[in-house]
Chain A
């Protein structure tokens, strides 16, 4: 039920956005989706790097200081949002400037 509800709501908002943006669109939908997938892919790369780096740092702290540091520190869901934010900034940074 929740699955259908979410899919219907997002389908409706997507339809509304598509109708509103149709006349102002400056690139094809295919190209836009390709760029969106690039950003998501970049977010996945940032997420893997962040998690890997987090594990490495925690293990390093354990080895160097002999003190306990929990690997679960790396398990917070906000790391996903921050990784996507990194990807967005990085993606816009490497795009050519708009005139």
Chain B
């Protein structure tokens, strides 16, 4: 579920409240978990594809959401094929694909801010147990933001390593990567404080 991949739009799926989308997603995932089988997976896949069509989300952005899962899906399917046969293997792999595609569709059609608002509202009852919903939302937002930053740092460090002719040196990558990542974390913390985010 790649948060921050929002595709602007005005479809009914886009306009649906984030809380409703998260609740439907949760119910769907629960159903897939308690009633596993080829039919629920097939129905789930049809629902996701229909909603994607309604939201005018093409196959490419949806595929980008499930692509990170492939490294897990391929060996898992092979293992299930070997241990339990083709029906179970396809059900497990299909169920995972449908679940991740459904979650991806939610993020593609919902602004991160709306998701955070829904999360804050959902966590509000836990305030009595000492959970600060705004802080949880902040942590999630920071996690989302950190992914492209770390990718950017990694890419720059990689280029710097190549420019110095040390392409194979793990150390030449790890040391500047860790230092720059920590420095970024420091600056980000300072910037959040300056914006009064955690006051």
Q: Do A and B come from one complex?
A: no
- Using a CB–CB cutoff of 8 Å, the interface residues on chain B facing chain A are none
- Using a CB–CB cutoff of 8 Å, the interface residues on chain A facing chain B are none
